[in-house]
Amino acid sequence: MDDALGRLRDRIRTNPYDAGAQAALAHALFDAGKFADAQDKALLAAELGAGEFGELVLLAARCALRMGAVDEAGELLRDALRLRLRDLSVPRTDPEFAPLRADPGIRAVLGIPDPPIDRDAGWRFDLDFFAREVRRRAVDPFGLVSPDEFDGAVAWLDRQIPTISDARILLELDRLLVPLRDGHAYVIAAADRSDLLATLPVGFARFEEGFFVVSADRTCTDLLGLDVIALDGNPIEQIEERLWPTICRDNEQWPNELIPFRLREPALLHALGVANAPDRVLLTVRDDHGMRSERLVMADPTRPTEPLGRNFPFPVDWISVQDTLPERPLYIRDNRIPFWYVMLPELDAAYLQINAIRDREDETLAAFTERFFDLLEESPPARLIIDIRLNKGGNTSLEWPFLHRLIGSQWNRRGRLFAIIGRRTWSAAQNFATYLDFHTEVIFVGEPTGSSPTFNGESVEFTLPCSGTRVNISDLLWQSGWPWDRRPWIAPDLYAPPTWEAYRTGRDVALDAIAREIEHPTLL
C-alpha cells in the first residue's frame, strides 16, 4: 500500500492537474485509513473533473463520517446531490450513512419514506421525490416550462391521486417529462405490475399509408397485414393525436417510432380515455379489398412492455408478414445481430448493417472493424452502404474505431459512401449519423433520424420508492456536431420513407433509391 501511495504522490508531484491520479490517490488514502488526506484529495479531484457526477464528493462525505464529523458529512452529501449524484443506493442503504438518514430533510431528498404508508400517501411521496429528481437530474428542466408551471402541474396531480387510477398517474408523470425535450426519458410501471405492463400480442408499424399489423403471436395471425382503422371505436388518427403529446422526444420524428408500441398497451390507452378496458382492445381492421371487421384482442401479461420499444424486434416465436415471402428483405433478415455484412454485386457495393452500437458475444466492434476493412481492401467494391435505420444506439465510444478507419478509407468519397437512416436511428446511433455527417462525404438515404444532432440522452434509471415505478431522466447533453447545430434531425439526401406496399412485397425503398442514384447520379 505504501509503495502504491508513493507512486501516486510522485505522479501528482510531476503533474498536479492529473485528475485521475488525484482520484486514485483519494481512494488509496481512504483504504489506508488516512481520512483527512483522502477527503482533501477527493474534493480536489472533483474540482478537476474526475469521476461521475458527485461521486468523489460522496467519498469525501464518507471520510467525514469516518472522522465523526456528521454535520460536515451531511453538507457534503447535499453537495453530491446538487452535483447530480446518479446512484442513491449507497447513501440510502449503506450502514455507514445511517447517521445522516436520521435527518428528515436528507431522508426526503434520498426518497426514503416513513412506513406505514397507504396507497395515496405512497403516490404523493413518490410524486414529491419525482419532482425533486426532475429538477436535480435533468440537463435543462425548465427549457420549455417555467418552474411555476411545473410546480402547478405537480400540485394538480397531487390533488388527483385519490380519484385516478395508477395507470393514469403513470401517464401524468410521463406528461411532466415531455417538456424536458429528452427522448430517453420515460416512466414505466414496477416490474411486478403485470396489470399495467401487459401488452397486446400483436406488433404495429406506421407507414405512409397508415398503421398496419406486421407481427403477431400464433393466437392473432389472422390480423397480419391488416390496416388498423380504430380501437374501441376510436379512429386511429384521433388516438395518434391523443398519444402525441404524451411522448418524450428529441424531435417530431420519434413519436412515429414509439406510438406503434404504445398502441400495444391497453392500460395506458384506457388511462388516456381511448380504450374501454385496461386489459383488452376491440380492433377495427381493413383488408386489401376494403372489407372491415372487428377483433377483440386480450392483453398478454407474459409479454410485458419495456421502455422505449426495447422489445423490438418482436419475440422470435411470433409470425411476421415477412414470413409469407419467398425471402425476407435484406434490411430485416438479421436485425437481431449487432453488426454483419454482405456483398451486393448488383450495386458493386458492400452492405453493412449495424443494428446496435455494442460488441457481439464473439467479436468486438473494434475487432470487426479491422477485419471488415482489411477484407474490403483485398478486393474493393465501388461503394459502401451502411444501414443504421433500425439502430437504437448503445455505447457511443465503441463506434470511434470504425469511424476513424472509415474516414481514412477510399470509400470516404461522394457517391461511394451511403448511410441508410430512419426514425429508429437514435441515441448512440444518432451520434454515429452526426459524426458521419460532419466527417465524411456520406449520402444519407431513407427518412429523418429519430433524434437530433444535439440532444439530451443517457440511461440512468431510478425507482420511485413506494410504487416501484421506474423512471429515466437524462443527465448528459450530447453535442456531436457544432454547438450551434439546432437541426431537429439528420435529414436524408435521398428521401425514401417506409411504405406498406414496399414492406408487404419485400422491397427495400432505401436500396431502390441508392440503385437509382447510382444509375443516374443527382448528388455528385
CA distance 202 to 321: 12
Q: Which three cell numbers stand for residue 433?
A: 449519423
Looking at residues 99-127, what average pLDDT do you find? 95
Q: Residues 6 or more apart from 391 whose CB is under 8 A from it?
A: 354, 355, 356, 357, 424, 425, 426, 429, 432
Handedness of CA 136, 138, 139, 145 (dihedral sign): negative
pLDDT at residue 1 above 70? no
298: left (phi over 0), alpha (psi -120 to 50) or beta: beta
pLDDT digits (tens, 9 = 90+) for 367-398: 999 999 999 999 999 999 999 999 999 999 99
DSSP per residue, 289-348: TS-EEEEEEE-BTTS---GGGTT-SPPTTSEEGGGGSSS--GGGTSTTSSEEEEEEGGGT
Q: What is the pLDDT of residue 4?
A: 82
pLDDT at residue 122 above 90? yes
- The residues pairing with 216 across neighbouring beta strands, listed in sequence order, are 202, 319
The torsion of the CA quartet 494, 499, 504, 510, rounded to 10 degrees, works out to: 10
Helices (H) and strands (E) in the chain, counts: 20, 18
pLDDT digits (tens, 9 = 90+) for 295-326: 999 999 988 888 766 667 788 889 999 888 88
CA distances to 62, 96, 159, 299 from 59, in Å: 5, 12, 39, 47
What is the number of other CB atoms lying within 10 angstroms of the CB of residue 476?
A: 14
Residue 225: what residue type? G
- The residues pairing with 478 across neighbouring beta strands, listed in sequence order, are 455
Mean pLDDT value across the chain: 96
Rounded to the nearest angstrom, the gap between the alpha carbon of residue 257 and the centroid of all alpha carbons in its chain is 12
Start-to-end C-alpha separation, the chain = 63
What is the number of other CB atoms lying within 10 angstroms of the CB of residue 408?
A: 9
Note the residue count of the chain: 524
- The residues pairing with 443 across neighbouring beta strands, listed in sequence order, are 418
Name the burial class of residue 171, with classes exposed (0-12), middle (13-18) and buried (19+) by CB atoms within 10 angstroms of its CB. buried
CA distances to 31, 151, 193, 365 from 121, in Å: 42, 18, 19, 49
pLDDT digits (tens, 9 = 90+) for 416-462: 999 999 999 999 999 999 999 999 999 999 999 999 999 999 999 99
Residue 233: what residue type? G
Q: Residues 6 or more apart from 46 whose CB is under 8 A from it?
A: 54, 55, 56, 57, 60, 83
At 287, is the pLDDT very low, low, confident or very high (cuts 50, 70, 90)?
very high
- Of 165, 161, 242, nearest to 196 by C-alpha is 165
Residue pointed to by grid coordinates 450513512: 97
% pLDDT > 90, the chain: 92
Q: Which three cell numbers stand for residue 426?
A: 437514435
pTM score: 0.95
Q: DSSP secondary-structure letter at 410?
A: T
pLDDT at residue 479 above 90? yes
Residue 447: its H or E element:
none
- Of 177, 146, 154, nearest to 248 by C-alpha is 177
Residue 467: its H or E element:
none
Rounded to the nearest angstrom, the gap between the alpha carbon of residue 121 and the centroid of all alpha carbons in its chain is 31
CA distance 490 to 422: 9
By three-state DSSP, how is residue 204 classified? strand
CA distance 245 to 382: 45
Q: What is the pLDDT of residue 169?
A: 98
pLDDT digits (tens, 9 = 90+) for 29-65: 999 999 999 999 999 999 999 999 999 999 999 999 9
Q: What is the pLDDT of residue 315?
A: 86
Q: What is the pLDDT of residue 6?
A: 87
- Of 265, 275, 283, 299, nearest to 226 by C-alpha is 283
- Of 254, 439, 85, 311, nearest to 60 by C-alpha is 85
By three-state DSSP, how is residue 58 classified? helix
